[in-house]
Structure 1
Amino acid sequence: MQPFLSHPFDDDKLKEECGVFGVIGVADAANFTALGMHALQHRGQEAGGIVAYDPETGFNSARRFGYVRDNFTSRSVMDTLPGSLAIGHVRYSTAGSKGNTAIRDVQPFFGEFSMGGAAIAHNGNLTNAAALRRELIERGSIFQSSSDSECIIHLMARSIQKNISERIKDALRRVEGAFSVIAMTRTKLIGVRDPLGVRPLVLGRVGEGWALSSETCALDIIGAEFIREIEPGEMVVIEHGEVQSSRPFGPAKSRFCIFEHVYFSRPDSILGGRSVYETRRQIGVELAIEAPVEADLVCPVPDSGTPAAIGYSQQSGIPYAMGIIRNQYMGRTFIEPTESIRNMGVLLKLNVNRALIKGKRVILVDDSVVRGTTSRKIKDMILDAGAAEVHFRIASPPTAWPCFYGVDTPDRDKLLAARMSEEEMREWIGVDSLKFISLDGLYRAAGEANGRNRASPQYCDACFSGEYPVAPADQIENGFQMKAAE
């Protein structure tokens, strides 16, 4: 079978590493989990896996490359995953073998311990994984994957605690970075967020059972009621229909990833009590206030720029229009990406509404600029369609620093904003104007009326500010230069 080929310009967008989902106390838990994974597919399209438990057959698992819809809908697969307890994971690799994933890298990971088996699924990235891996290997651990998440299983194996829940606590106290973890034993569903709460995790009620998920949109698809977010530094253990909460870590100030509001999460999800859609619409409002320009149309770069474009239009009074149409059936590139096909790459995914654009001054609203290559292609398409002017408005500040907490970010020297000023980026992309929302404006859109608290930021915004709430120890060891203190 020919492997999936990434879209030629997919590397010009930041990608979440993964999404996690679990359910307990329902018949056919694996089917519920597959539905939840489908709703979280935007968080990872490379591979997915499910582990389920049934008292008669024990732990069963299925791991596959590609989309949930292609792998976890057939009876031949789902009938092998019986039981009322299951967890699942959708993956896009960051740590580990990028672009060359082996099936052994696909989560959930499973371990057999003296007190029984356990499986874990992890969203985030461990910033001290390399040091932990060296230590564990020196002490006799044998790793099966290239994933940083496998460190958690090995740390659990070395714990002297008497039950799985306590071993998970032991393991997670050793790791640094970002983690939202869902785990399962024969009778328990467990969820944990790191002390800073960088990545999301929510709790829902489905009938007499319970569900844990990266986002609320996955609760909606299974008809579950959203109960609350798992709090930063909290661990919940669900068993026999009861939810028990504990705090395994020391106190810390929450630093939730602000890019979840900008791009990663689905617009129909709820984060921090706020609608993601409404936050993105408000980003557009702030952009229109901060960076007005005379134009005829406000057009989103589909689909992530759409809510911000609507907000920009509403605030500015400039008409909103679908100037670019997205091919909804794009998925992965189905043609070997020769140079000629690469040059048509954006056209495979996006097409200009020429009759609308011709002769118009167009404001394009996009979520971010990473390498800038796609922005140049889209600008060319708009000009080729006869636009009189092209103005870019970006719904995030300049992305000038890599993320080490579960997002696939290019090296810093590949980030356009790390090498160029805003004016230099405008010239390089070739547009009439280019403006990014300010960091304060982004915070206001996310509900912080006074903007960013510089002494104690409310969110993790390291990709914009270079201020990392957890020092990326592995990267520093490899020569990464932190931002100098101001």
Structure 2
Amino acid sequence: MDPLTPMITTNPFDDDKLREECGIFGVSGADTASAIVALGLHALQHRGQEAAGITSWDGHDFHTHRAMGHVAGNFDRDEVIRGLPGGSACGHVRYSTTGETSLRNVQPLYAELNSGGFAVAHNGNISNAMKVRRELIRRGSIFQSTSDTEVIIHLVATSSYRTLLDKFIDALKQVEGAYSLIVMTPEGMIACRDPLGIRPLVMGKLGDTIMFASETVAFDVVGADYIRSIDPGELVIVTNAGEIRSHRPFGDVHPRPCIFEHVYFSRPDSIVDGSSVYSVRKAIGAQLAIENPVEADYVIPVPDSGVPAAIGYAQQSGIPFELGIIRSHYIGRTFIQPGDKVRHLGVKLKHNANRALIQGKKIVLIDDSIVRGTTSLKIVQMMREAGAAEVHMRIASPPTKHSCFYGVDTPERTKLLAHKLDVGGMQDFIHADSLSFISIDGLYKALGEVKRADGRPQYCDACFTGDYPTTLTDQDDVVVTDQLELLAERVA
């Protein structure tokens, strides 16, 4: 591409973050369910900014509206909400962790089954979806999307069990990986979480209306009360009559919820698995200060995700907390960047150094993670250009060495800086005076847990340790195929 050709791209500060999978929200038993869902999706927008969709049920028919882009602009118009009537609705905000970015992959996905309409919103990733999909196609299934979520619909449709609930459970027992699901049928709404509880899902109530969401902050926005988390492996059914039933078809399984929800994905004002995300992030920052002290004049967060940890670091270390990087909240996530030179200057559209504060000072920068390292490099450079005497970087998570296969849009492992370099090499790459990460044991300590109980991790920490809690059938198949192709090339 010509360097002067305009292109739409993600802001460079956002390119170096793990993308926050997806967000789901469901409402059962409300007069204007779709309007409530639209409000809840606004609160979950940080979990997916490529597309959004809502499906409603009015007692007779299902209605769906899906669109590329944010919730605002697509679901804040009266005519859209009027086109989604009914007392039940579910919604979804999306990043494309599997399947291309196109309208056919925007959720909720909907299909007409023998039992009636079936709509599903999914947060997570089915790690054997490719294998199951191939088998379903061999048996005659016709897929309308490239999303892994559609596999669940076909498994339900082809199940030999009699009741819809049994068909659904049968389908779930054939998939592996991570999933939190909200399903709408003519019989009612089902909310469920995979047996390991990798992805979050919570339950709330507003009067007689029952709600489910990826995060409790969605309940705050609509004025609902948080009741509890859906347990790992639990299915909660809300019938059209308002009856609530719980099923646990998977037996006892040791849970492994995603530890990165506490580090970065969830909003700080959410409650995840019973813990305040804000309080946990402050505790992570305090533990980071205990493990990795440094002499400095100021503790400075990388906005916005580094703020709670920076507060904790400052309180523990006694070093003053200051806003040394000012973020503009009026710049969207994407903008036109014509060429590399202007693209680099575009960083300052969203973040700019507080030069009067920084000049001549020793500073500690606090961020939640380092992925490719490009963001950290630019931030350190910005601080030096603003006159910082020393720039030390402290990271509120261990080095991200491994890809996630559970619904997070992670770069290939070879593109992860911590996979290629040790901490010393990473420090040289970003040109910091020092670089340190919280230890995995320190992260667990900040969460009020020991890393292992009975020899088993309490969280899914595979992005740091490589200890994946499930089999990775599709990934293993890709590795085997690559090895066979490489062997064939060598023989040839």
Shorter-chain TM-score range:
over 0.9
The offset of 1:251, in angstroms, is: 2.0
Query: Match for 1:34: what amino acid?
Result: A
The offset of 1:9, in angstroms, is: 4.4
1:121 matched to 2:125? The reply is no
Q: Which residue of 1 aligns with 2:222?
A: 222
Q: Which residue of 2 aligns with 1:433?
A: 434
Q: Deviations over 1:164-221 (max 9, x none)?
A: 3222211111100000000011241110100000000001111111000001000111
1:88 matched to 2:91? The reply is yes
The offset of 1:5, in angstroms, is: 3.6
Tell me, in whole angstroms, the C-alpha distance in 2 between the residues paired with 1:442 and 1:480: 34
Select the residue among 38, 50, 58 that pairs with 1:46.
Answer: 50
Q: Which residue of 2 aligns with 1:108?
A: 108
TM-score if structure 1 supplies the norm length?
Answer: 0.95
RMSD: 1.5
Tell me, in whole angstroms, the C-alpha distance in 2 between the residues paired with 1:42 and 1:478: 31
Q: Tell me the matched-pair count.
A: 475
Q: 1:180 to 1:212 in 2, by over 3 A?
A: same
TM-score if structure 2 supplies the norm length?
Answer: 0.94
Q: 1:337 to 1:54 in 2, by over 3 A?
A: farther
Q: Secondary structure at the match of 1:459?
A: coil
The offset of 1:348, in angstroms, is: 2.0
The offset of 1:248, in angstroms, is: 1.7
1:68 matched to 2:71? The reply is yes
Q: Deviations over 1:54-107 (max 9, x none)?
A: 135x1100000111011100012111001110000000011112xxx1100000
Tell me, in whole angstroms, the C-alpha distance in 2 between the residues paired with 1:4 and 1:121: 28
Q: Which residue of 1 aligns with 2:347?
A: 346
The offset of 1:415, in angstroms, is: 0.4
Deviation larger for 391-400 or 321-330? 321-330
Tell me, in whole angstroms, the C-alpha distance in 2 between the residues paired with 1:453 and 1:284: 24
The offset of 1:15, in angstroms, is: 0.8
**Contact (CA 8 Å) 2:8, 2:337: kept in 1 or not?**
no
Identity level (%): 58
Tell me, in whole angstroms, the C-alpha distance in 1 between the residues paired with 2:76 and 2:187: 25
Q: 1:317 to 1:179 in 2, by over 3 A?
A: same
Q: What pairs up with 1:305-320 in 2 under 5 angstroms?
A: 305-320=306-321
Q: 1:337 to 1:13 in 2, by over 3 A?
A: farther
Q: Deviations over 1:307-363 (max 9, x none)?
A: 000000000000000000111122222224422222123212211111111111000
Q: Secondary structure at the match of 1:475?
A: helix
**Contact (CA 8 Å) 1:118, 1:164: kept in 2 or not?**
no
Q: Deviations over 1:435-482 (max 9, x none)?
A: 00000010011111x44448200000000000100121111111189x
Q: Which residue of 1 aligns with 2:405?
A: 404
Q: What pairs up with 1:322-337 in 2 under 5 angstroms?
A: 322-337=323-338
Q: Which residue of 1 aligns with 2:469?
A: 469
Tell me, in whole angstroms, the C-alpha distance in 2 between the residues paired with 1:64 and 1:318: 47
Q: Which residue of 1 aligns with 2:200?
A: 200
Q: 1:473 to 1:337 in 2, by over 3 A?
A: farther
Q: Deviations over 1:381-404 (max 9, x none)?
A: 000000000000000000000000
Q: Which residue of 1 aligns with 2:369?
A: 368
Deviation larger for 183-192 or 252-261? 183-192
Query: Match for 1:246: what amino acid?
Result: H
Query: Match for 2:132: what amino acid?
Result: L
Tell me, in whole angstroms, the C-alpha distance in 2 between the residues paired with 1:154 and 1:31: 30
Unaligned runs of 5+ in 2: 1-5, 482-492
Q: Which residue of 1 aligns with 2:242?
A: 241
Tell me, in whole angstroms, the C-alpha distance in 1 between the residues paired with 2:167 and 2:180: 16
The offset of 1:142, in angstroms, is: 0.8
Q: Secondary structure at the match of 1:49?
A: strand
1:421 matched to 2:422? The reply is yes
Query: Match for 1:237: what amino acid?
Result: I
Tell me, in whole angstroms, the C-alpha distance in 2 between the residues paired with 1:162 and 1:329: 54
Tell me, in whole angstroms, the C-alpha distance in 2 between the residues paired with 1:318 and 1:373: 27
The offset of 1:232, in angstroms, is: 0.3
Q: Which residue of 2 aligns with 1:36?
A: 40
Tell me, in whole angstroms, the C-alpha distance in 2 between the residues paired with 1:91 and 1:470: 23
Q: Which residue of 1 aligns with 2:17?
A: 13
Q: What pairs up with 1:121-140 in 2 under 5 angstroms?
A: 121-140=121-140
Q: Deviations over 1:107-137 (max 9, x none)?
A: 0011111121110001000110110110011
Q: 1:177 to 1:392 in 2, by over 3 A?
A: same
The offset of 1:4, in angstroms, is: 6.0
Q: Which residue of 2 aligns with 1:484?
A: none
Q: Secondary structure at the match of 2:133?
A: helix
